[in-house]
Amino acid sequence: MSHQDEPSVADECKDENTSCACNDTAYNDSHNHVNDDSCCEHDHEHEHEHDHEHEIDDEEQFEELFGTSGTKKLTFHLGGMDCANCALSLQKALDNVDGVKKATVSFGPRITNLFFDGEKETFERVEKTIRSLGFELEGERVILNLESLTSKSLGKKLEQELGGVRGILYAAVSFDKSTLNLIYNPSEINLPKIKSEIQKLGVTIAGEKKTAKISKQKIKLLQTAAAGALFALGWATRWLFNTYGVSSLFFPSVIFLLSAVVIGGYSTVLKAFYSLRSKVLDVNTLVAVAFTGAIIIREYWEASAVVFLFLFGSLLESYSMEKTRNAIRELIDLKPKVARVRRYDTEVEVFADEVKKGELVIVKAGEKIPVDGMVIKGSTAVNQSSVTGESLPVEKTVGDEVFSGTINTDGYIEIETTKTGEDTTLSKIIKMVEKAQTEKAPLQTFAEKFDVLYVPVVLLIALANFLITQNLLVTLTLLVVACPCALVISTPVAIVSGIGNAARKGVLIKGGRSLETLGKLDAIAFDKTGTITLGKIKVFEVDSFYDDVPIKDILYWAGIGEKMAEHQIGKAIVEYVRSENITIPDPDKLSVVSGIGISAEYKGRKVIMGKRKLLENNGLIVSRNVENYLEKAESKGYTVIPIAVDDRIIGAISVADLLKPEAPEALSKLKKVGIKQILMLTGDNERTAETIAKCMEVDNFKANLLPEDKVSYVKQLHEEGRVVGMVGDGINDAPALAAADIGIAMGVAGTDVAIETADIALMSDDVSKVPYAIGLSKKTNAIIRQNIVFALVMVFALLIATLFGVLELASGILGHEASALLVILNGMRLLRYK
């Protein structure tokens, strides 16, 4: 007796090569909630892939590592940073500021993490140091006029309260003037929000004055233009003097050339001074010494040429680097500022980060969704490419999840808020991308170590050359080429570009180390359900093994057994039973047997559903006829769940999952990007797994696995010398993801745990993003190597050319800047990778 809703999906697989019935959960993953720490035990020889250097994220972690209490952390972006060595100079300078416990400066994303004592005087010293080195703290500055500031203690309290608000970098109250000086990060907080925080303390704001400022970029542009104009005038008058002997032009040419040096070189000299004070020898110091020495020996044209070419090259580098940093800026710009909320039966507009969990948010067509939440009214199509990377809008209706920063394209919806402000998925993506761009890749460490050795060696060569030849011009040229900026910048520009490109497509890469290792994978193990299958379980067949047991009885007892289920199979069975208009009572007793099934009781009768092992453990005999039935159903790609009531097996329900349409092509692409072995690890039975494996053309598969068994097979691949990636759901497969060299979590949008723990997090369920990510990594590694080789060749070429007298001072600085610029442009090619 049989009830069958669908044709054999194994046949569909043969016909269309796009659909395969399968179900990884079976009674392994579905009934097995991984809470046992033993599942996480794995080979520590591979754990180094996940054991990065200490990355200090917050004050508590800092205190744990350094044993310092009363520490405050500030994170801010810097303007004017276009040199990797400059980042090192600033970091050392900040570490020497009184009150600063620790500072980290990352050149790629221009991010500074500052741990300090929280005193405003310390921050003032920090900002002064930043300005003195030619950088600027990016943030809005405003002076607020205050009323009802009744005491200095109230002013102090106001400073303390605002100092603890995320996004406010600096707050200083002048009691005598009744003013509040503020610096804040507009990407994290806006001025109306700050004002509301102030008013909560009973302080009234009488007015405001925004501090006008010119960006360092504009200053550098004006400085370069002025130095260039003066250099051109000096060159022209010098040419006229040399060609036509116009003696009256000699003095003006010297004035023009020296003016170009003064206007263009003062900032370089200032940076050099503070770098030396921080005991850092950077390119500014070397260039400053070079053009100063040129002036001393009256090589005015050479001096001004060095200054102008250095400025011009730095300006081009700065503009180019800004393009590589656009990805994170675009993500920040997606954050909605306001939300329309229903409060007390009235629609009101509030700041998006002021919406509370559980509040009802109204979003009309064309508006950005300001919170993460669940649609409770209406339907629409949502463009969620900013979060998941999906190119087409996704239909959303009641019960569907939506994300902050996505766009409601054409309908009216009401959303119940689940996450807001810094807790939204978009905010977590922004934080993760920012953090990822600061992490160094192993190849970057090599470049920096080479830089440390190379600079002093070249300086010794320069000194020896001067002592032997007494040729100061050659010595000064050696100083110019002694700083291998192209080499130092070669890796971070590629890492920032690669991670930024991936973020735009909904692929979150945890940092340079993960990006580099991803490209080295030669074996990938896939979980099945929800990874290469849709993860939507359906009931395909219901069969009775006895003529006196109708199909409705099978469904009735199956519904009782699975009514309280949290797993996919159970939910699918209960949904199917209800669709047949069968009322399901609650079981009197229920026992979940981890990994193999369930046992329930109702009105003195016992129902058992699950694997053969569970049936046998309860004294039930699987007859030859039942075994033949199970084998036949499993050969179709079904997961079959026998159902026993009391002392006999009365029937079975066959469920399955369909293969993702893009999965076969995605796995085929993996071979093209260099993956030598593709393995499928599943908790499903052998025959079902084999059917799916044939559909997918994987190299090998392992069935009937518990989560800890998957870890064992990942270890086995390691022992075979493979660099292993594991693709799974990030939760049930967490132990295997941790055991792999690279763990790739699928469909993690809205899943905080997976976003935080995986090396690579795919925001959507699109398995085609796996070969894209690996291809991007391989391209990134190739470009990094190209950059390093090119930079090393240029470094030694410039050095040798200088020693043999081929290069002069101006051509030396031109070669230095050109090599850095070419490295940046090569890294920027990753922004166009598809």
Catalytic residues: 527
Q: Give the C-alpha separation, 784 to 442, whole Å.
A: 11
Neighbours of 469 (CB within 10 A): 12
Q: Give the C-alpha separation, 132 to 116, whole Å.
A: 19
Burial of residue 528 (CB within 10 Å: 0-12, 13-18, 19+) is: buried
Give the closest residue to 438 by CA, choosing from 103, 761, 123, 770.
103
Given 3-state DSSP classes, what are the helix, strand and coil percentages for the chain, each rounded to the nearest 5? 50, 20, 30
Tokens of 156: 């102090």
Give phi and psi for 637, each to the nearest 5: 100, 10
**Pair 378, 400: CB distance under 8 Å:** no
Tokens of 494: 């590629």
Q: Give the C-alpha separation, 507 to 530, whole Å.
A: 17
Q: Give the C-alpha separation, 636 to 680, whole Å.
A: 18
Secondary structure class of 723 (helix, strand, coil): coil
DSSP state of 39: G
Tokens of 682: 């599943």
Q: Give the C-alpha separation, 72 to 166, whole Å.
A: 11
Q: Give the C-alpha separation, 462 to 468, whole Å.
A: 10
- Spell out the residues 6+ positions from residue 623 whose beta carbon is closer than 8 angstroms to its own: 649
Q: Give the C-alpha separation, 129 to 115, whole Å.
A: 15
Give the closest residue to 135 by CA, choosing from 215, 16, 202, 198.
215
The torsion defined by the Cα of 367, 369, 374 and 376, in degrees rounded to 10, comes to -20
CA angle 280, 284, 290 (to 5 degrees): 115
Neighbours of 831 (CB within 10 A): 16
Neighbours of 604 (CB within 10 A): 7
**Pair 357, 418: CB distance under 8 Å:** yes
Give phi and psi for 800, each to the nearest 5: -70, -40
According to DSSP, the β-strands at 523-526 and 677-681 are parallel
Q: Give the C-alpha separation, 730 to 762, whole Å.
A: 10
Distances (CA, A) of 424 to 355, 387, 509, 655: 12, 11, 18, 35
Host H or E run for residue 504? helix 485-504
Q: Give the C-alpha separation, 221 to 217, whole Å.
A: 6
**Pair 419, 372: CB distance under 8 Å:** yes
Angle of the 216-244 helix axis to the 250-277 helix axis, nearest 10: 140
Give the closest residue to 258 by CA, choosing from 303, 203, 209.
303
Secondary structure class of 695 (helix, strand, coil): helix
